[in-house]
Structure 1
Amino acid sequence: MGAPFTFIHAADLHLDSPFKGLTKVPDAVRERLRESTFTALWRLLDIAKQEKVDFVVLAGDLFDAADRSLRAQLRLQRVLAEIAALGIQVFVVHGNHDPESGRQAKLDLPQSVHVFGSSEVDCQPAYTRSGKLAANVYGISYATSAVTDNLALRFRIREGAPFHLALLHANVDGDPSYDNYAPCKLDELVSAGFHYWALGHVHDRRTLHEYPHVVYPGNLQGRSIRETGGKGVYVVSVSDSGSIEMQFRDLADVLWQEIVVSIEGMKREQELKNRLLTALEELRQETQGRPSIVRIRLEGRGVLHDQLLDPSIAEEWLEELRDWLGVPEETEAWLWPESLAVRTRGLLELDTLAEEDGFVGELVRKGRAVAQRPEELRAWVEDAMDSLRKQPRIREWLEARSHEERGQWIERAMEISVSLLRDEDAG
């Protein structure tokens, strides 16, 4: 087929991400987060050196905002200059967060860095370090932040290269968790004749298809509790016969983690304290020296459920956990509990309650009946969340929820209602 070569596929660097929404965060945590996207970028450079890659592709959203911060632009320029000094080409497209229309400083980039424009799909040759033609790289950037055209349909193979790599920032098959920009279908990508689609936009690491490969590498550094676990890049090796081997490299400086602690079998608060601290210590060992921001999710049935329904009690547990773990130092492998989410259930059995006379029994029976009728359940949920549905992202998320998930919401709402009613009666 051609000379073997290796490249890095990265996307969604979101340099200088502001990490909004964190409250009561110690200075060391805030500063480490502020630098984390840049630290991950320098680690990308380290991987390029270690793996002796031939070129790098960056599939959009290099910057977090259309009006890029000067700091982010200057730091990216430094890293790109270091990569160029190694004889490594870089190919870049811009996405919805950093479209061409955004404010940009007038900075010089190395000649070996090619930024694709937004007017048409361009094609550029990529070479091995020894100067042999490795591939044709194709790409197109976003002109503005909201591109709703199917850009994938504009890609066409140009003969003359042994390998064809398409670079695109897009939402494949309409994932409702992400804005539906440059929407396209997986079938369209698979049938287009390219060997590898280097995608960006989705922050989860996904391989949608192999031969041809259609790949999201995820983002470089998690930015919220919705982006848990390792984040980084793919190092992709292509043999002389055209076989493809992908290896993930975790570059994240700060990890976002979620742990689950069950209250099953607990009767005393001391048991919950012990289990929480044990779970956090186990997580500290697993992270192997990297700082982590942690959401703790309490689950299971138990006698402690009723007191945990009080938001002030859950907040007290969170504050005490932070106090026990101590104030983080910027350089150490700290754990910072971001929140404590209560998803526990009481010992009340809805099946038994449904057989009771009176208001509680009628409430459970009606709730169960609605949960079993998909159309009525959908109408109830839409009515209850009418105000939330005015937000496009929330509306898309709600519409993607399954009948089973909606039924679970009803079930949990009934349990909470019954618990509160029983408390009122006891009072």
Structure 2
Amino acid sequence: MGEAASAFLAFTSRDKRKEGMDMRSFRFIHAADLHLDCPFKGLTGLPERLRSDIRDSTFAALDRLVELALRERVHFVLFAGDIYEAKDRSLRAQLRFQQALEALAAEGIPAFIIHGNHDPLLEGYTAKLRLPGGVRVFGCEAVESALVYAEDGQPLARISGISFDRAAVTDNLTPGYANWGDGLFHIGLLHTNVDGDGEHGNYAPCRLADLLGRGVDYWALGHIHTRRILHERPWVVYPGNVQGRHIRETGARGCYVVRVSEQGEAEPTFHALDVWRWEEGEVPIEGLDSEQQLKEALEDALFAARERSEGRSAIVRLTLTGRGPMHAVLRRAGALAELASMLREQAGDSWLESLTDRTGAPVDPEKLAAQSGFLGELLRLSRETAGDRERFDVFAKEALGPLAAHPALASIWTDCTEEERQAMMKEAEELAIDLLASGAETGWNG
């Protein structure tokens, strides 16, 4: 059994490292945001065989993580929060995570765990399951610290962490991380939103400056689902989630294997773990003069998305863009749905999530907007309104009053992002051009 397999834990608040001892090189995995048993809502029309695979994809990603740990012979694994999708975690998810920890423990690989906003330590359903030896779940009352020891009793690293006690933790937790000054490589496990990422809840917020100068060599963060390295030496790292859950989580998802040298230099390397990959693609219609060319352009875009998935199954969203004569074809009743059906038949083990039309008639909208008459005035008004947020909101309130009064429909507008609102305005402009411009200007022939 190698050094990775024989590493074991001793939990202590005292430094047992002998003075003058050299640092050992070691390897660990930094993972976060597993979201086990994610329901993957909204995938309508998906064949049952694919639906089952997607539902199991978070578990498959966890299995790949265990395989990676064994293959890389890591000394320990870090889980930086949101192991589960919800605080009322399913028994199935808890059993599968227990199995993964047991598989690691069987090879002598300890695991360090914190809980985040999706799976707070003191809220929701937690099954009474026995965790294997070598697993440390950090508490939620204060930052705790643990040492990892090698077989010969020499320490490899110090790991500090704290779990969320409840879902909505709004305190900055970084002051609880102590500078131990013991010469060990110090890892800080933390579920946090650094510098207020607007796409995620602002839980346990902190600034990047709060993480520097605390005697932590590697901040193993969780919560943000897109992997990013915010700082080096000390390292401040988000590994992202292990499996994309929706179309806003495109591209490769996985974890970092971090190698630490005898000099204390860390080298994180990303490893993809995802089983299904979300991909987006644009299909411009400029230069397409026939339905055959349109069909081939869509097929090429679907193939390219599957190629980007590196052999994985892909969930693909394609958007038709640009101006050209095929815009009139796409506006015909049922045309878009028929093209989408054709692509789904060709997708194999992948799936076309949606096909969206964002095309326009082959006209110069700037020239139309400069013309006198109703259409020109309408386009000018649209652009002035889109560029003035206050005016935009007043217009939307007047135009969508009946919608806002409907309880079930009001959120369609209120929950829209700025990008989505602008897209609606743009689509309305194109509809106006289709309806009001002459056939000669738009290329419409019927």
Query: What TM-score, normalized by structure 1, do the two folds share?
Result: 0.88
Q: Which residue of 2 aligns with 1:238?
A: 260
Equivalent residue runs for 1:191-270 within 5 Å: 191-270=213-292
Q: Which residue of 1 aligns with 2:353?
A: 338
Q: Which residue of 1 aligns with 2:17?
A: none
Q: CA RMSD in A?
A: 2.8
Unpaired runs of 5+ in structure 1?
329-333
Q: Which residue of 1 aligns with 2:187?
A: 165
Does the Cα contact within 8 Å between 1:66 and 1:97 map onto a contact in 2? yes
Equivalent residue runs for 1:28-67 within 5 Å: 28-67=49-88
Q: Partner amino acid for 2:360?
A: R
Q: 1:282 to 1:407 in 2, by over 3 A?
A: closer
Q: Which residue of 2 aligns with 1:417?
A: 432
Bigger radius of gyration: 2
Q: 1:131 to 1:277 in 2, by over 3 A?
A: farther
Q: Partner amino acid for 2:64?
A: R
Decide which moves more: 377-386 or 144-153: 377-386
Does the Cα contact within 8 Å between 1:372 and 1:407 map onto a contact in 2? no
Q: 1:57 to 1:307 in 2, by over 3 A?
A: same
Q: Partner amino acid for 1:11?
A: A
- Once the two structures are superposed, residues 17-42 of structure 1 have per-residue CA deviations (whole angstroms, 9 ceiling, x without a partner) of 11111111111111111221111111
Partners of 1:385 and 1:224 in 2: how far apart?
28
Does the Cα contact within 8 Å between 1:263 and 1:304 map onto a contact in 2? yes
Partners of 1:281 and 1:64 in 2: how far apart?
31
Give how far 1:158 is off.
2.5
Partners of 2:438 and 2:213 in 1: how far apart?
61
Decide which moves more: 385-394 or 167-176: 385-394
DSSP 3-state at the match of 1:240:
coil
Partners of 1:121 and 1:384 in 2: how far apart?
52
Partners of 2:134 and 2:243 in 1: how far apart?
25
Q: 1:234 to 1:384 in 2, by over 3 A?
A: farther
Equivalent residue runs for 1:271-290 within 5 Å: 271-290=293-312
- Does residue 316 (structure 1) correspond to residue 331 (structure 2)? The answer is no
Equivalent residue runs for 1:71-90 within 5 Å: 71-90=92-111
Does the Cα contact within 8 Å between 1:261 and 1:297 map onto a contact in 2? yes
Percent identity of paired positions between Structure 1 and Structure 2: 46
Partners of 2:397 and 2:176 in 1: how far apart?
38
Q: Which residue of 2 aligns with 1:186?
A: 208
Give how far 1:111 is off.
2.1
- Once the two structures are superposed, residues 223-264 of structure 1 have per-residue CA deviations (whole angstroms, 9 ceiling, x without a partner) of 111111211110011111121111111111111111222111
Q: 1:191 to 1:303 in 2, by over 3 A?
A: farther
Decide which moves more: 183-192 or 369-378: 369-378
- Does residue 348 (structure 1) correspond to residue 332 (structure 2)? The answer is no
Q: 1:298 to 1:392 in 2, by over 3 A?
A: closer
2:378 to 352, 360, 363: 363
Unpaired runs of 5+ in structure 2?
1-21
Give how far 1:372 is off.
5.0
Decide which moves more: 38-47 or 359-368: 359-368
1:120 to 134, 138, 142: 142
Q: Which residue of 2 aligns with 1:26?
A: 47
Q: Partner amino acid for 1:218?
A: G
Decide which moves more: 276-285 or 200-209: 276-285
Partners of 1:37 and 1:144 in 2: how far apart?
23
Give how far 1:308 is off.
2.7
Q: 1:288 to 1:172 in 2, by over 3 A?
A: closer
Partners of 1:347 and 1:130 in 2: how far apart?
74
- Once the two structures are superposed, residues 267-301 of structure 1 have per-residue CA deviations (whole angstroms, 9 ceiling, x without a partner) of 21111111112232344444343211111121222
Q: Partner amino acid for 1:240?
A: E
Partners of 1:208 and 1:379 in 2: how far apart?
39
Q: 1:300 to 1:130 in 2, by over 3 A?
A: farther
Q: Partner amino acid for 1:315?
A: A
Give how far 1:409 is off.
6.2
Q: Partner amino acid for 1:85?
A: A
Does the Cα contact within 8 Å between 2:157 and 2:186 map onto a contact in 1? yes
- Once the two structures are superposed, residues 315-354 of structure 1 have per-residue CA deviations (whole angstroms, 9 ceiling, x without a partner) of 22112221344xx5xxxxx121111122223222122112
Does the Cα contact within 8 Å between 1:136 and 1:161 map onto a contact in 2? no
Does the Cα contact within 8 Å between 2:280 and 2:305 map onto a contact in 1? no
Decide which moves more: 311-320 or 346-355: 311-320
1:68 to 78, 81, 89: 89
Partners of 1:365 and 1:248 in 2: how far apart?
48
Decide which moves more: 312-321 or 408-417: 408-417
Q: How many pairs were matched up?
A: 414
Give how far 1:144 is off.
1.4
Query: What TM-score, normalized by structure 2, do the two folds share?
Result: 0.85
Give how far 1:375 is off.
5.5
Q: Which residue of 2 aligns with 1:331?
A: none
Does the Cα contact within 8 Å between 1:171 and 1:182 map onto a contact in 2? yes
Does the Cα contact within 8 Å between 2:375 and 2:437 map onto a contact in 1? no
Partners of 2:400 and 2:160 in 1: how far apart?
43
Q: Partner amino acid for 2:313?
A: P
Does the Cα contact within 8 Å between 1:368 and 1:411 map onto a contact in 2? no
